[in-house]
Amino acid sequence: SQKAQLQQQIHKLNDVCWDLCVDKPREKMDGRTETCLCNCVDRFVDTSLLVAGRFQNLINKHQ
């Protein structure tokens, strides 16, 4: 289902961004970690869009 696929993507994103942004777990989530997590998600989406766009271009060229 589409909901399950969305959940799957959030698991993947949280996995990647947790490894990138969280070093030692602390008492509270600090501002720097929060900023890193938000930027990580947004830049990951940017990267996916860039990759999908270039791929589409490649397909169009070959047609």
Partner 1 sequence: AQELLQKISEKCFKKCITKPGTTLDSSEQRCVAMCMDRYMDSWNLVSRTFSNRLQ
| Long-range pairs, 20-24, Cβ under 8 A, ≥24 | none
* Minimum distance of partner 1 from residue 39's CB (angstroms): 4
The mark string for 6-25 relative to partner 1 (x by CB under 8 A, - otherwise) is -x-xxxxxxxxxx-xxx-xx
28-47: contacts with partner 1 (CB under 8 A): 29, 34, 36-47
* Minimum distance of partner 1 from residue 3's CB (angstroms): 12
DSSP 4: H
Q: Does 57 bind partner 1 (CB under 8 A)?
A: no
